[in-house]
Amino acid sequence: MNKIKVGVIGVGRLGRFHTQKYAALQSAELVGVFDQDIERAESVAIEVDSSAFSNVEELLQNVDAVSIATPTTTHYATGLLALEHGCHILMEKPITDSSSTARELVDIARKQGLFIQVGHIERFNPAVTALRDIRLDPLFVEAHRLAPYTSRGADVSVVHDLMIHDIDVLLHWMGNEVERVDAAGVPVISKTADIANTRITFSRKRIANLTASRISVKQMRKFRMFQQDAYISMDFIKKRAEIYKRVEKGTLKSIPIPGAGDSDQRILIKRTRAKKNEDALAREIQAFIRSIQENSVPIVSGEDALTALEVVEEIARQCESG
């Protein structure tokens, strides 16, 4: 297949990583980068043997697709400009800072036959991808995402910054049949919530409890699911999952259920681990390029990101209202 000509808009910490992944990808040609800080753009361009553009429109005129890794508040305007130039978009999360502008971008992309993929990177975490062949029907979910405070991402609430990752994974596995959202949050350092907790009720009385904090001493990114025949635990930092599944007696490698006596029911334990140097961002970018080449819907589509953002907005609204 022909190489996809790509550019990167915004080459701060995350955008710089995007340039490195594109430069290493045989299916893509990194045409150039743009950043408001031209010296930073030139420095990154030199690193990856590419070009720095001083005008964003000039870059867009020379590429088929673009990564947008600028501040969230600029996503809508930058994304709109990219679509007007006929470019597919890999947008860092959240897709925009409001569901109304996100919906507009999604509608325009659909009408023009362009793809928007959004950087909900946990979908490419080995802890998640390892479960693709596992039957999942979670009835109860508990997730914790904790991180020390940094100024990066502080322009939005912790719900938009951190919890949205778990919201996206949650909707991926439980569907979007949300019946009720109950949330509370507190601003500690910034002007918006720095710690938040939400309880989401889905159809069939399925429940999810999620906590996110950016004022924690330690990091934690854990996601636990409970269903009728299994308990699944994921550690997104360690990139691994553990599955404890109820099986019939006689199943190979199964063990007795503690305290269950001579029951016919046993437990089968499966642990997954990431391969050495497995890179979620590289997999995300590869998937984006592949969706363009194959004309297939991205793994994390603009529609997926819009649905997640609508839930996030309701959580943030409740946090702000007290």
Q: Within a domain: residue 303?
A: no
Which has the higher per-residue pLDDT, 257 or 65? 65
Residues 65 and 206 in one domain: no
Count: domains in the chain:
2
Residues 132 and 115 in one domain: no
Query: Are 256 and 135 within one domain?
Result: yes
Which residue range is the domain that position 316 belongs to?
124-275+310-320
Kindly state whether residues 290 and 236 are assigned to the same domain.
Answer: no
Spatial neighbors of 211 by CB under 8 A, at least 6 apart, are 143, 144, 145, 146, 195, 196, 197
Q: With cut-offs at 50, 70 and 90, classify the pLDDT of residue 274.
A: confident
CATH number at residue 178: 3.30.360.10
Co-location of 218 and 244 in the same domain: yes
In angstroms, the Cα distances linking 117 to 197, 285, 290 are 27, 9, 11
Residues 271 and 290 in one domain: no
pLDDT exceeds cutoff 70 at 250 = no
Cα–Cα dist 102/80, whole Å = 10
pLDDT value, residue 266: 76
Average pLDDT, the chain: 92
- pLDDT beyond 60 at 252: no
| pLDDT value for 149 | 86
Residue 172 in any domain: the answer is yes
Q: Are residues 142 and 38 in the same domain?
A: no
pTM of the model: 0.90
DSSP E strands in 109-227: the ranges are 116-119, 140-146, 178-186, 195-202, 207-213, 220-227
Let me know whether 61 and 181 are in one domain: no
In the predicted structure, residue 195 carries a pLDDT above the cut 70: yes
Omega before 148 cis (within 30°)? no
Q: Is there a single domain that holds both residue 152 and residue 96? A: no
CATH code where residue 113 lies: 3.40.50.720
Taking residues 238-259, report their average pLDDT.
77
Domain shared by 179 and 58, yes or no: no
pLDDT score for 268: 78
Q: Are 85 and 55 in contact (CB under 8 A)?
A: no
> Considering the domain boundaries, does residue 238 fall inside one?
yes
Using pLDDT thresholds of 50, 70 and 90, give the confidence band for residue 61: very high
Share of the chain above pLDDT 90, in %: 79
- Tens of pLDDT, residue by residue over 136-178, are 999 999 999 999 988 776 777 899 999 999 999 999 999 989 9
- The partner residues of 30 in beta bridges, in order of sequence, read 6
Q: What is the DSSP letter of 269?
A: E
pLDDT, one tens digit per residue, over 103-121 is 999 999 999 999 999 999 9
